[in-house]
Structure 1
């Protein structure tokens, strides 16, 4: 260990077969207070605190009755929903397998699959009042391409939200590079009473991720 400005810091030596990049990632994980807190409090990922902090600021989980979690893996956000709104029905979807969470219906499939929206709606059994999306496209290392691919997911999530949300509902999605595309923000403002961007403290400072929080769904015309 070495002593940094904030106290003891764990250093990881580059092992045979481990790249310098993976060593840096491991060192960051070992020294990340949110990772340590997540383990101590039983959350599957540090991302849980992003939703906790967004909820503290915007009250998005208050009174939630039906929640859809897009990109649920590994389940940290849904764990927060279950703790903050234990009576809410929750349905999630992800390409990756997700260990079961009590009281939650989970689909392992591509959200962009034409069948996904219908299956989510059927499992929900009624209009949700909250649609969460922590989805991000797999990166290819080209910033512009990565941003476009993730924005396509955000647009698909937004379209799903305005098709299924009950009036007054909320849509939260991860975006990158300072926020959602201006045309998408304009579309959100037509559909929601308020649209704001936020970077919760749990989002790493070096990360380009932000979240867009759209509240007060105006309903379908």
Structure 2
């Protein structure tokens, strides 16, 4: 009986302390989204202003962040199931407010939506030109309301830019819708594919720069306050300037 009680106690402790909300160390999901989030695969180093900003906020509150590199689609699932504490750069949507506590925004950014095709690919001059195309997109990404809700478009959803770049080169899709143009271009360069072009049609897309925490996370109010103070006193602006970047107010 004593042995059974000991096992039960051990199992209970494992449950109680399995989430980082009960300790000073928080779990953060990171992904390669240059220039704000950069993953150096050769040296396994993570860098970028979004990392610096939230780490400084965490330090003010007596926390550290343990980062892990996770695809964004899995990060959304982690937020739903409280398996992570912080995810940088989560686009704010009504649907996601059902399971995400948003921190910020720390500023506004202009992330125009582009469409990329092969050099001799279809011409995309306006939204209607998308109707006949097979469009590659990243699973779980919010682009813009009209596109996201358009059930008549032919969409192929994949996990990441790695797959999108190779599918475009192989001609398996006609175009790629792109929120993070530098990330896709980096993948196209990695496979030495130069025969691509940006479509004339561009969707203007100013978005708030948010962090995501699981809904009702106990640390969310304190982090929001810390980020508000850092934005007001210029700390966030200075961190972005260090990387040669800027945020719109």
Larger radius of gyration: 2
Greater RCO, 1 or 2 (C-alpha within 8 Å, sep 6+):
2
Bin of the TM-score, shorter chain as denominator length? 0.3 to 0.5
TM-score of the superposed pair, with normalisation by structure 2: 0.30
TM-score of the superposed pair, with normalisation by structure 1: 0.33
